[in-house]
Structure 1
Amino acid sequence: MMKKVLKIVGIVILGMIILIVLVVGFLLMKNYIDSQKPWLAKDYYTQFQSDSELEKKYAGLGDYEVSVMAVKSEDKSIGNIRIWYPSEMENRYPLIVVVNGSNTAALNYEPYFERLASWGFVVVGSDDRQAGTGISTSLTLDYMLEQNQNSDSLFYEKIDVQNIGIAGYSQGGVGAVRAVTEFENSGLYKTIFTGSAAHSYLAQMWGGYDASKVSIPWFMTAAAGTSDDTSATDAATEWLGVAPLSSLIENYNAMPDNVFKLRARVEGAEHEEMQMKTDGYMTAWMLYQLQGDEEAGKALIGEDAEILSNSNWQDIEKNR
Structure 2
Amino acid sequence: MRKVMKIVGLVILAIVILIVLAAGFLLTKNYIDSQKPWLENDYYTQFWSDSELEKKYAGLGGYEVSREVVQSEDKTIGNIRIWYPSEMKHSQDDYPMIVVVNGSNTAALNYGPYFERLASWGFIVVGNDDRQSGTGTSTSRTLDYMLGQNQNSNSLFYAKIDTQNIGIAGYSQGGAGALRAVTEYENSGLYKTIFTGSAAHSYLAQMWGGYDASKVSIPWFMTAAAGNSDDTGATDVAKEWLGVAPLSSLVENYNAMPDNVCKFRARVAGAEHEEMQMKTDGYMTAWMLYQLRGDEDAGKALIGENAEILNNANWQDIEKNK
The normalised TM-score by structure 2 is: 0.99
Which shows bigger deviation, 259-268 or 8-17? Answer: 8-17
Secondary structure at the residue paired with 1:156?
coil
Structure 1 segments unaligned to the other structure (5+ residues): none
Q: In the alignment, what sits opposite 2:84?
A: 85
Query: What is the alpha-carbon distance in structure 1 between the residues aligned to residue 36 and residue 42 of structure 2?
Result: 16
Q: Deviations over 1:187-209 (max 9, x none)?
A: 00000000000000100000000
Q: Tell me the number of residue pairs that the alignment of Structure 1 and Structure 2 aligns.
A: 319
Aligned-residue offset at 1:97: 0.1
Q: In the alignment, what sits opposite 2:155?
A: 153
Q: In the alignment, what sits opposite 2:169?
A: 167
Secondary structure at the residue paired with 1:248?
helix
Q: Does 1:227 align with 2:207?
A: no
Equivalent residue letter for 2:118? L
Q: In the alignment, what sits opposite 2:276?
A: 274
Which of residues 284, 287, 299 is equivalent to 1:285? 287
Equivalent residue letter for 2:140? S
Q: Does 1:248 align with 2:247?
A: no
Q: Deviations over 1:30-51 (max 9, x none)?
A: 0000000000000000000100
Query: What is the alpha-carbon distance in structure 1 between the residues aligned to residue 242 and residue 195 of structure 2?
Result: 22
Equivalent residue letter for 1:35? S
* Runs of 4+ residues over 6 Å off in structure 1: none
Equivalent residue letter for 1:32? Y
Aligned-residue offset at 1:100: 0.2
Aligned-residue offset at 1:6: 1.2
Q: In the alignment, what sits opposite 1:130?
A: 132
Query: What is the alpha-carbon distance in structure 2 between the residues aligned to residue 132 and residue 156 of structure 1?
Result: 29
Query: What is the alpha-carbon distance in structure 2 between the residues aligned to residue 277 and residue 200 of structure 1?
Result: 23
Equivalent residue letter for 2:68? M
Which of residues 81, 93, 99 is equivalent to 1:97? 99
Q: Deviations over 1:106-164 (max 9, x none)?
A: 00000000000000000000000000000000000000000000000111101000000
Q: In the alignment, what sits opposite 2:60?
A: 61
Q: Does 1:30 align with 2:12?
A: no
Q: Does 1:265 align with 2:267?
A: yes
Aligned-residue offset at 1:234: 1.0
Query: What is the alpha-carbon distance in structure 2 between the residues aligned to residue 237 and residue 8 of structure 1?
Result: 50
Secondary structure at the residue paired with 2:222?
strand
Aligned-residue offset at 1:5: 1.7
Equivalent residue letter for 2:26? L
Q: In the alignment, what sits opposite 1:106?
A: 108
Q: Deviations over 1:77-107 (max 9, x none)?
A: 0000000000011110000000000000000
Equivalent residue letter for 1:138? S
Query: What is the alpha-carbon distance in structure 1 between the residues aligned to residue 79 and residue 241 of structure 2?
Result: 34
Cα RMSD (Å): 0.4
Secondary structure at the residue paired with 1:157?
coil
Query: What is the alpha-carbon distance in structure 1 between the residues aligned to residue 43 and residue 240 of structure 2?
Result: 35
Q: Identity over aligned residues, as a percent? A: 85
Q: In the alignment, what sits opposite 1:210?
A: 212
Secondary structure at the residue paired with 2:317?
strand
The normalised TM-score by structure 1 is: 0.99
Equivalent residue letter for 2:212? D
Secondary structure at the residue paired with 1:278?
helix
Equivalent residue letter for 1:40? L
Query: What is the alpha-carbon distance in structure 2 between the residues aligned to residue 224 and residue 43 of structure 1?
Result: 25
Secondary structure at the residue paired with 1:103?
coil
Query: What is the alpha-carbon distance in structure 1 between the residues aligned to residue 282 and residue 57 of structure 2?
Result: 4
Structure 2 segments unaligned to the other structure (5+ residues): none
Q: Does 1:10 align with 2:9?
A: yes
Query: What is the alpha-carbon distance in structure 1 between the residues aligned to residue 236 and residue 71 of structure 2?
Result: 43
Q: In the alignment, what sits opposite 1:42?
A: 41
